[in-house]
Structure 1
Amino acid sequence: MRNRGWRGEPPSDDDEARERIIAAAMRCIDRHGAAKTGLADVAAELGVTRQTVYRLFPSAEDLFQAMAVSAADTFIDRMAARVSGFTEPAEMLVECLAFTLERLHQERHLSALFVREQAHITRQFTSATPSELTRTLMARLPVDWHALGIDRRRQDQIVEIYLRTLQSFVIDPGPPRSPDELRAFLRLWLAPAIRVPGPDRLGGEAGDPGDASSGPHERRASGRPGQ
């Protein structure tokens, strides 16, 4: 690690340098907003050259992804705590998605990955970083997915439909909805896609999709008779 710059206090190694660059990016966003923050601003905040930042983060998107991952860790813990009293996995994910939609634009460091460049928003939502963050969320929820018959392939499908729903709301929020109305909408259209399937659905066998949420297996797994 070079000793030049860093306002006279150079980091001890690249890991510390990355942490300080991410922290500087967060401060810049707090002052200027995500849309007006670039690598040059971060470099100036640290008292280093742009080349120093480029060496560790080859592009602004690399830096913003790293910052989003750092900010997401705490946010995921907050969501997991919020649904700790829920019993049905589908209801947990509905609440997590609704909470994310309500909070995303207030979480400046987390939302920067998605709102900084609208032209790239589709690619960003389908990139590895949002998918890994959603898998982390699922792992921290009080759910034993495998015990419910939800294998890794099925979990990946849940991650995809969750992110595609989030993407559609961020791009076009649609008509105004109260918190209760938003949850009711997600419960009606998203929850059936992520509820615990019947045994015949796990193998991908043909059948009437409308029966998947009404069989005895589903009623036992969800703990909500009559659903």
Structure 2
Amino acid sequence: MAEATAGHDDDPISNRSRIIGAAVRLTCEHGWSKVTMGRLATEAGVSRQTVYNAVGSRDDLAEAMVLTESAQFVFRIVEAFDNHPDDLLPAIHEAVESTLRFAEGNALLRAVVSATHGADTELLPLLTTHSESLLGTVKVVVQDRVDRYEVTLPPERIAATIDIVVRTALSHVMQPTASPRETADSITWLVACVLGRTEELVVSRA
């Protein structure tokens, strides 16, 4: 466990990142109800006042944790599309698979999911508050990336397809029914059907 040092208190940006990281670890190991500002200060190696200066209240800290993890999901989606600027189907496949693989190893997500089964119910209102925000953010990001491809569909059909894909992918984050690759295969196939590119997809998988 870290010990508070004066040097650590000098860098507000580094402090905030370290404090949020420590909060994630404590939440996963002991539960959100056991995370106190004093314990967090010790874990992060800063003073208690530095914790309050960096993240505000305990509610602010919980929100920062959820938003930080959400940003990681969005980053992987953006990265996947950037890796395939000339072909939409591989971009979608990588975005779905990468996101689901990240979810598999996401300790905070596992802690939040456990809250839905009776533990640490304090986090549930926060998760509910931000779920629609995350959904909206992901849809906007995907729409922005899809607009860069030549898709011969009416805008309303594109928007509807994005909505279905995003909601389906996020549902598998919370309740996976197959491996990330298998789920990505299925979602990509659905998009290929909408685009009339199923034969091309079969050839590329052969």
TM-score computed with the length of structure 2 as normaliser? 0.59
Name the CA shift for 1:223/1:178 in 2 (closer, same or farther; >3 Å).
closer
In structure 1, what is the equivalent of residue 121 of structure 2? none
Matched, 1:162 2:160: no
Matched, 1:61 2:62: yes
Name the CA shift for 1:150/1:55 in 2 (closer, same or farther; >3 Å).
farther
Given that residues 28 and 42 in structure 1 are in contact (C-alpha distance below 8 angstroms), is that contact kept between their aligned partners in structure 2? yes
Name the CA shift for 1:123/1:100 in 2 (closer, same or farther; >3 Å).
same
In structure 1, what is the equivalent of residue 16 of structure 2? 21
Number of residue-to-residue matches in the alignment: 186
Deviations along 1:81-133, whole A, 9 cap, x unmatched?
5x42761x244223311221123122446x47964643749736742134324
> What percent of counterpart residues are identical?
9
Q: Which moved more, 1:97-106 or 1:154-163?
A: 154-163
> Structure 2 stretches of 5 or more lacking a match?
118-123
In structure 1, what is the equivalent of residue 151 of structure 2? 148
Tell me how far 1:76 sits from its aligned partner.
Answer: 4.0
Give, in whole Å, the separation in 2 of the partners of 1:112 and 1:225.
33
Tell me how far 1:171 sits from its aligned partner.
Answer: 3.2
In structure 2, what is the equivalent of residue 80 of structure 1? 81
Tell me how far 1:48 sits from its aligned partner.
Answer: 1.6
Tell me how far 1:25 sits from its aligned partner.
Answer: 1.9
Matched, 1:99 2:98: yes
Name the CA shift for 1:103/1:97 in 2 (closer, same or farther; >3 Å).
same
Give, in whole Å, the separation in 2 of the partners of 1:32 and 1:225.
42
Equivalent residues in 2 for 1:6-45, closer than 5 Å: 7-9=5-7, 10-11=9-10, 16=12, 20-30=15-25, 33=28, 36-37=31-32, 38=35, 40=37, 41-44=39-42, 45=44
> Structure 1 or 2: larger helix share?
2
Matched, 1:182 2:180: no
Give, in whole Å, the separation in 2 of the partners of 1:59 and 1:116.
21
Give, in whole Å, the separation in 1 of the partners of 2:74 and 2:60.
22
Question: Which residue of the other structure, out of 115, 134, 148, is the alignment partner of 1:129?
Answer: 134
RMSD value, Cα: 4.5
Matched, 1:47 2:47: yes
Given that residues 76 and 95 in structure 2 are in contact (C-alpha distance below 8 angstroms), is that contact kept between their aligned partners in structure 1? no
Name the CA shift for 1:187/1:31 in 2 (closer, same or farther; >3 Å).
same
Give, in whole Å, the separation in 2 of the partners of 1:57 and 1:84.
40
TM-score computed with the length of structure 1 as normaliser? 0.55
Given that residues 100 and 173 in structure 2 are in contact (C-alpha distance below 8 angstroms), is that contact kept between their aligned partners in structure 1? yes
Please state whether the residue corresponding to 1:59 is helix, strand or coil: helix
Name the CA shift for 1:143/1:152 in 2 (closer, same or farther; >3 Å).
closer
Given that residues 95 and 183 in structure 1 are in contact (C-alpha distance below 8 angstroms), is that contact kept between their aligned partners in structure 2? yes
In structure 2, what is the equivalent of residue 173 of structure 1? 176
Please state whether the residue corresponding to 1:127 is helix, strand or coil: helix
Amino acid at match of 1:118: T
> Structure 1 stretches of 5 or more lacking a match?
1-5, 196-212
Name the CA shift for 1:99/1:48 in 2 (closer, same or farther; >3 Å).
same
Name the CA shift for 1:23/1:162 in 2 (closer, same or farther; >3 Å).
farther
Give, in whole Å, the separation in 1 of the partners of 2:55 and 2:36.
8
Given that residues 189 and 201 in structure 2 are in contact (C-alpha distance below 8 angstroms), is that contact kept between their aligned partners in structure 1? no
